[in-house]
Amino acid sequence: MSSKAFIDELAGEKLTPEQKNKKILVKLVKHLENKEIGNAIDVLKATREEFDINYQFNGNTLLHYVCNSKEPTIYLFLPIILSTAFKEAINLQSLDTMKRTPLMCAQDIQNEF
Sketch the domain layout of the chain as residue ranges: 3-111
Nearest to 76 by CA among 32, 112, 113, 28: 32
Average pLDDT over residues 74-93: 79
Give 3-111's CATH code, choosing from 2.60.40, 1.10.760, 3.30.565, 1.25.40: 1.25.40
Is 113 strand, coil or helix?
A: coil
- At residue 113, does pLDDT exceed 50? no
- At residue 17, does pLDDT exceed 70? yes
Whether 11 and 17 have beta carbons less than 8 Å apart is answered as no
Whether 57 and 25 have beta carbons less than 8 Å apart is answered as yes
